[in-house]
Amino acid sequence: MDVPTDQSPKQIVSRLIQYAENAFLLVIALFTVVAMLQEIMIMIEARSVELKDLLLMFIYVEVLGMVGVYYDSKKIPITLPLFIAITALARLVILQGKDQPPVNLLYESGAVLLLAIACVVITYKPGKKGDDT
């Protein structure tokens, strides 16, 4: 790591934090791919693919997408983690056993609804005044 001497200590610390951030994102992406491969191996060994497996794979893909978006734009849109949470809650609803109290289903579906509303509110961009089209 070549650090120019004309940089301020603040710039040097900022650059070190960026390197650490990129390293951890790379680790997250690598571990996500490893987890996906492990799940694929489990499905191959079981010779069965279930809906819960597919939903888990979607979560992995969304995590990879979030890492990719961050590398491209250096920003993580808040809606991406919300989408991951919605998918995880949907998976929980699907996997919920019949021995669970029915009120749990209401809580989980209410949480999905709240997250969906949050996505709409965050992404809502009102038009200009007088713009009826």
- Residues 27-74 have pLDDT tens digits of 999 999 999 999 999 999 999 999 889 989 999 999 999 898 888 888
pLDDT for position 7:
81
Are the beta carbons of 79 and 121 closer than 8 angstroms? no
Using pLDDT thresholds of 50, 70 and 90, give the confidence band for residue 5.
Answer: low
Residue 1 within any structural domain of the chain: no
Residue 4 within any structural domain of the chain: no
DSSP 20-75: HHHHHHHHHHHHHHHHHHHHHHHHHHHT---HHHHHHHHHHHHHHHHHHHHHHHS-
Q: Which range of residues forms the domain containing residue 71?
A: 9-123
Residue 37 within any structural domain of the chain: yes
Give the length of the chain: 133
Residue 86 within any structural domain of the chain: yes
Give me the number of domains the chain comprises.
Answer: 1
For all residues of the chain together, what is the average pLDDT? 87
Residue 117 within any structural domain of the chain: yes
The pTM assigned to this predicted structure is 0.73
